[in-house]
Structure 1
Amino acid sequence: MKLFAGKRSNNLGVRDGKLAACPNTPNCVSSQSSDAVHQVEPLTYSSTPEKALANLKQVIQSLPKTKIITETQNYVYAEFTSAIMGFVDDVEFYLDEEAKVFHVRSASRLGKSDLGVNRKRIESIRTKLQETESMV
């Protein structure tokens, strides 16, 4: 059932080294946002960019109801679908090789509040990525 899936935004992707800004609603987090409501730290990595990207994709694919839609050598876009109602969140990762981070943006397509789901998701991915990065 796709009743609550919403429509994919047309502002996804990286433009001039930036992911799209979060809307004024509190159902989005971004590592490139400067306000406290939306700001989340970028994901760090210590391996090579190629290995970090592979690790990130492995983490994303290990999560339930998740589908990678687009991937390039420095960008991953995935859709995360909620288990019960089928709400879809758009989650983007932009690899900044100079800073050795992934900038992230996680945004709900519908509604105003996400009850902290997007922030929790990014923190969960951060933890799993750090665990994967620390494996030999």
Structure 2
Amino acid sequence: MAVIYDRFGGKKFTKRLAEMVGVQRALDEVMFEIAVRAEELLVQHRADGHAEIDVDAGTVDRYVILSDERGQKAALSIEFGRQASVAVREDKDGNKFLVMIPPAEGLFILARAAGLPKKRKGKVKL
């Protein structure tokens, strides 16, 4: 009877596989391809926004990020859309007024670039 070990060299077998040089190179290639597609999709929709595509590498994982840190911090709304809402704004004299923010469809930049289904985030049911 064969014995199957779940550890190899003190690490879980799956982690050891993920850390292999060839696997890491493949992850880098996939990350780059997704980032290029995401940038192409974002450029098609960018009017004067500050959103951009960033990449980051962890010890094992790779990340393609839709960042709007320089703008309105609206990356979540850009990706998944938003419902109509009302916001309180203040003019230069300190007068407060209400502003209607219209709904917007999500662009699903990252989902489309990665070949994932376009799904809007919903509430988690417990």
Shorter-chain TM band: 0.3 to 0.5
Structure of greater Rg? 2
In terms of fraction of residues, the more helix-rich structure is 2
Q: Give the TM-score normalised by the residue count of structure 2.
A: 0.34
Q: Give the TM-score normalised by the residue count of structure 1.
A: 0.32
Q: Which has the higher contact order (CA 8 A, sep 6+)?
A: 1
